[in-house]
Amino acid sequence: MKYHRMLLALVLILALAPLSGSTRAEEQSCTVSDTADFCRAFAALSDAACPAFSISMPMTVYRSFVEADNSGWAFFHGSCGAAGYDGTLEDQGSTAVVHFTNVRYYSGCRIWAAVRDGTVDSLPASDQQTLQAAKDAVSSIRGTEAERFLQIHDWLCSHTDYFTDDDPENWNDRAEGALLHGQADCDGYADALFLLCRLSGLDVRYVSGEAVGGRTEQDAGHMWNAVKLDGRWVMTDVTWDDQEDGISYLYYCTGADRLRLDHTWHEPLPDCSPCAADQYDLAPSGVPMTAVQDAGQADQVLADLAEVKPQRFLVLTGLDGEALESAMRRAGAASWSMLTAPGAVEFRDVAWHSAFHYCDSGEEAVRWINALDNETIPAELTLLFSPDCGPALFADEKTALERLIYTTRLAAPVLWGCSEEDYRLVIHDPVLLPDVLPIISSDESLEQYLDQALASQPGTLEFMLDGSFAAVFRSADLFDQLYRRGVSGSDGLYLLGGVRVQVTGILYYPEYRIVTTRQEALDYLQDCAGRGVSDCRLYCPEPLYHQWTADGGREFFQLLTDAGYSLSSFGFIDAYRLIILGED
């Protein structure tokens, strides 16, 4: 709203010369006893779009409200739909009679009065064109009061661009600007909303006052609307909801408490009393609105929203932006944009991690991953670690983080990335093992595991080392155990995160036997000779090996002879394996 228009009306009142005589015959007139009566009378006369009227009141009412600089009178008459007027004061001593003439109404107010009174034909051509445009806009609007108002709000935002011009002859400050030209300032937005709501059967009022923020950084005259939905009055600033990048709902159907944070107006408003609290149930369909009082509640509310993953929602809150953004990250939001207003934040274009967990400890992260299944696992897992455990996991080149990853059921190798800024771990293309890996805690348990695992000659072995055994584990010892069990070689051995062992590409000798006595060895060698096997291997305990190989291997030669082998070629390999080569 332009200051000069409001201040002009006030100056005219204060500068009037007292007049004598009676109320003019063409004026409607009434008498009031106090300020509240005066406000009701002025609002009723304005609602009828009376071009001239007079109001008689005690001089004290005139001086305290109409004449006083800080009474809010200039804003009050704007809230009644009166954009300006000429005024004269008739001083009758203790009584003041104010004659309002040439009252100029916002076009929405004037047009609606003509529609209601059946005098549309008397409107100027521009008003009749504006009325037809308004009827066309609401022709398809249906539903409950709240649904109809949402459609009007969104239509006006979608079809109007903000435009301001101080030229009083311009149309941007009335409904004509928004409805016929697609351009309006706050007066034009509010005026158009008034007319559209009235034509749709909704009770609506202008609200004239001041605001800071929005499209200006300093206090400025402003206009918005109050609308009655389902028996309750709420406020909407459609001008500030019409953002360059789309429709906002930061100022949609708010209660007086929140709007008062950056809007001021005269109270009481004409014929309405906006509810104090915000009406969350009036949030537009598809744009959830919720209230957050503190950080703990923010975590719970945003965690609930993360279940449905909305791309857009409103949060009514007194929390600062940093606290709310931290809660967004904890809830699993990957990225977003924000619109802020005092007491409210609108999140837009919110992208959520498809699988996300906020972890207070590394153990919690392991439990969460291990509880997933390959049927529903997404292409990406995201974990966010709390400040209590994140620094330790991400320190020392993230060795602890890698150890955590390979403690889980995730099949190696794991493709992962992380952000030290917020202790975020992202695992790409995860695949889970059918079950948790066996945990090896000693040399004895390793031998038992290998005896069982190698029975089917698998191509890969994978197992975990517990903390104490991981500290003394040596890959050479493992290979020694593998060779003793018929493994001829492998692609490689990997110690992942210091806790997971993986041997890949395992190859086996076609003929081998683990023996503990001479008789076991003799039976096996005789069987091989009978089958014509030219290359076989024996694995035996170290004491037996030393017995056979002592004195130039005389006992071993005898074993070969007894088994029916030629002695032309044979060899010993390391302390645990005997390789028996057949004849060339």
95 and 116 belong to one structural domain: no
CATH label of the domain that carries residue 304: 3.30.110
210 and 261 belong to one structural domain: yes
Average pLDDT value for the chain: 88
Quote the CA–CA distance of 241 and 249 in Å, as a whole number: 6
DSSP letter, residue 171: S
11 and 137 belong to one structural domain: no
Query: Taking residues 217-242, what's their average pLDDT?
Result: 90
With 50 as the cut, is the pLDDT of residue 290 above it? yes
In a domain, 258, yes or no: yes
Three-state SS at 505: coil
Q: How many CA atoms lie within 13 Å of 262's alpha carbon, on the beta-carbon side? A: 19
Quote the CA–CA distance of 212 and 221 in Å, as a whole number: 9
219 and 267 belong to one structural domain: yes
In a domain, 49, yes or no: yes
The contacts of residue 279 (CB under 8 Å, 6+ apart) are: 229, 232, 234, 253, 254, 255
Which tens digits make up the pLDDT trace of 29-49? 999 999 999 999 999 999 999
Pick the last residue of a domain from 57, 88, 105.
105
Give percent of the chain above pLDDT 70: 91
In a domain, 433, yes or no: no
270 and 125 belong to one structural domain: yes
In a domain, 348, yes or no: yes
In a domain, 129, yes or no: yes
Distances (CA, A) of 354 to 16, 349, 379: 70, 15, 8
138 and 214 belong to one structural domain: yes
> What pLDDT sits at residue 10?
37
The amino acid at 77: H
Quote the CA–CA distance of 277 and 357 in Å, as a whole number: 34
Alpha-carbon radius of gyration of the chain:
43
In a domain, 17, yes or no: yes
Spatial contact of 313 and 287, defined as CB atoms under 8 Å apart: yes
Spatial contact of 433 and 411, defined as CB atoms under 8 Å apart: yes
Three-state SS at 98: strand
With CA atoms as reference, report the closest residue to 81 among 193, 168, 164. 193
Quote the CA–CA distance of 264 and 47 in Å, as a whole number: 23
Range of the domain at 25: 3-105
Spatial contact of 233 and 253, defined as CB atoms under 8 Å apart: no
419 and 445 belong to one structural domain: no
pTM of the model: 0.75
Residue 575: pLDDT band (50, 70, 90) is low
20 and 68 belong to one structural domain: yes
> What pLDDT sits at residue 3?
38
The contacts of residue 305 (CB under 8 Å, 6+ apart) are: 288, 290, 313, 331
Distances (CA, A) of 10 to 74, 245, 578: 6, 38, 113
Hey, which of 209-218, 289-298, 509-518, 570-579 has the most confident mean pLDDT? 289-298
Spatial contact of 226 and 269, defined as CB atoms under 8 Å apart: yes
Three-state SS at 384: strand
> What pLDDT sits at residue 576?
59
529 and 502 belong to one structural domain: no
How many structural domains does the chain have? 6
In a domain, 413, yes or no: yes
In a domain, 434, yes or no: no
With CA atoms as reference, report the closest residue to 357 among 346, 347, 371. 371
420 and 446 belong to one structural domain: no
226 and 198 belong to one structural domain: yes
340 and 384 belong to one structural domain: no
Strand ranges (DSSP E) for 386-482? 415-419, 424-428, 439-440, 461-465
